[in-house]
Structure 1
């Protein structure tokens, strides 16, 4: 929605987060989870973190399932996408590598904190592993090099990573006020000062272009305020943003946009607001959305919990040695084979370990 919201992540980065299913995040990826390049590792070892090892078959399970999830949404041609000389396949590989390193580290953290699976959870791990392994064709098993024991270990680590997160944040229940979590609903009109994709070239930066956009925004605001024209109708006719109605809380938007929006009363129309993307006019539809505010409270609580966990995680991971088998990693490729369609690894886990 243009620049009413903070800058969007590049398309590739958004795609890269597609596969990150409900296992909760844990701090910055720039913390000690990054691996260093080395030689002298086992031929099947992709990386080591502390005493934990990621093997090639384990990595192929994650890579292949992630690949097929992408293709189910975007189609097989998605791999033709590149940005700044980096292909989507390379981007996905690095994202999966970071995720695997994160889970292996959390598995070690669970051991360090004395967190273990109980008999019931271990039984579920075995059942999930059998179910997923049985869903694979012989071709998939061969190409990924996977055995049922491989899947069982992956599910065990995944479950322990999830459990240690819950263990560490179990007492983190901050009180969030209505004001802090307040969510408002607005309608908006954007008159851009840049090119169609939102970038600002030299011409768009000229005073003439910006002045013309500003005068157009002033005229539209006059039609809404002085002539009483319907704001939604004006937005449909003039706005250069596909989003017209939006709900959001504090800290989610461009600062100038947010400050203006939160100062409005219901039904009030803002002055013309200057942002990097262009000029906005905002109409407040609701100064307090109870349902969205309650949902936002939970979002804020989860953010606080991630912060608490991230502090412990980062302190733990800093002391761990980490090594990457560079040659093996560079030679690992996605399986572009019509006979390899498996995409249910994460769904099977969620079936046995919901929520």
Structure 2
């Protein structure tokens, strides 16, 4: 069973990491929209009630976790485009965008940014359905029956006020579930047969103890601000002091657990391609019990101690992660080639008018969970998930 924390973490990944695509669809501004049509990608449309289902269910879920105050929290604006990645995680190299003209304010609320994320996700699902149609992919009779049952179940869960606010029928919910099921099936059709051979050495993970003297601070939004040249010099002097104490015989763990260490954790287990190169290179060169020299990265000055040169359990997990990444890269290549040149049209006045104010009568949160209860497909880490919204 998927937990609410997964919903939260994946939503925040999309909110905080979404960026400007290198390749975008052609943007065509037009007034030729049907009533309540939010956007169109080629001949595939997204309607207002689809956005409302995503928005209301997701915001209600967040309210349970954090309270309604989260939506007015300010975030720094990094990009002004709206984009959707090919997989569950934001990928700045591979997106389809439905863009709008805006004044590029310095801040945006979580609610505003989350609306962009929903729009991006819906654009992705529509594009994936266009690709599935091109490839001739269809659902089986059993899958269609599951979608019909899930749609009826969700509609039965709504009260009169919720049905009126969402403005949906059982057919609308059926079509939304069907769009997602096709997108999910497409991903697995393309990737399930990809089984690269990954050696223990390629996937090898190690464990190191860590001491860090930072060369940056963070602003209220979590943005990293590098130290001045003078403060960086002082940080290096503290790192030299720590290294001197280690050389004199002070136990590594004593210093790692002291005020000297500015790291958020004192031990890491990782494979290749995860840490900054200088740190990774030093770590994989150490034998068990050996301590590194001072290592400079973008985060500061590190001193590490090798605790294990081969973590079998984590290496097996890393093999799966590498396989999943290989699958994702293959899918991204196919998706990227397809979306290049697609025409996107955004009904900007309608989009800006869409909002949701929580009331005591509107409590629906089950749209995503109900789908998952009918489709017990095991999603790998990078496959589209109904909770990646």
| TM-score normalised by the chain length of structure 2 | 0.79
Could you tell me how far 1:215 is from its partner in structure 2?
A: 2.3
Could you tell me how far 1:196 is from its partner in structure 2?
A: 5.8
Q: Is the 8 A contact 1:187 1:282 kept in 2?
A: yes
Instruction: Give aligned pairs, total.
Output: 334
Structure 1 CA distance for aligned equivalents of residues 111 and 30 of structure 2: 23
Q: Deviations over 1:99-126 (max 9, x none)?
A: 1011111112112111111111111101
Query: 2:71 aligned with 1:79, yes or no?
Result: yes
Query: 2:244 aligned with 1:222, yes or no?
Result: yes
Query: 2:124 aligned with 1:132, yes or no?
Result: no
**Residues 1:196 and 1:159: Cα distance change in structure 2 (over 3 Å):** closer
Query: 2:320 aligned with 1:332, yes or no?
Result: no
Pairing of 1:85-234 with structure 2 (within 5 A): 85-195=107-217, 199-200=224-225, 204-207=227-230, 209-227=231-249, 229-234=250-255
SS where residue 152 of structure 2 aligns? helix
Q: Is the 8 A contact 1:38 1:326 kept in 2?
A: no
Query: 2:67 aligned with 1:45, yes or no?
Result: no
Structure 2 CA distance for aligned equivalents of residues 159 and 313 of structure 1: 17
Structure 1 CA distance for aligned equivalents of residues 225 and 339 of structure 2: 41
From 235, 242, 254, the equivalent of 2:256 is 235
Q: Deviations over 1:240-285 (max 9, x none)?
A: 1221111111111122222211211111111111123321111111
**Residues 1:210 and 1:185: Cα distance change in structure 2 (over 3 Å):** same
Q: Which residue of 2 aligns with 1:15?
A: 12
Q: Is the 8 A contact 1:103 1:157 kept in 2?
A: yes
SS where residue 359 of structure 2 aligns? coil
Q: Is the 8 A contact 1:39 1:326 kept in 2?
A: no
Gaps of 5+ in 1: 1-10, 20-27
**Residues 1:131 and 1:31: Cα distance change in structure 2 (over 3 Å):** farther
How well do the aligned residues superpose, as a CA RMSD in angstroms? 2.5
Q: Deviations over 1:285-311 (max 9, x none)?
A: 111111111111111111111111112
Structure with the larger RCO, 1 or 2 (CA within 8 Å, 6+ apart): 1
**Residues 1:185 and 1:59: Cα distance change in structure 2 (over 3 Å):** same
**91-100 vs 318-327, which deviates more?**
318-327
**Residues 1:212 and 1:77: Cα distance change in structure 2 (over 3 Å):** same
Q: Deviations over 1:288-344 (max 9, x none)?
A: 111111111111111111111112212222243221111111111133334322222
Could you tell me how far 1:18 is from its partner in structure 2?
A: 7.5
SS where residue 17 of structure 1 aligns? helix
Could you tell me how far 1:239 is from its partner in structure 2?
A: 0.8
Structure 1 CA distance for aligned equivalents of residues 67 and 342 of structure 2: 39
Structure 1 CA distance for aligned equivalents of residues 362 and 21 of structure 2: 30
| TM-score normalised by the chain length of structure 1 | 0.87
Structure 1 CA distance for aligned equivalents of residues 173 and 70 of structure 2: 27
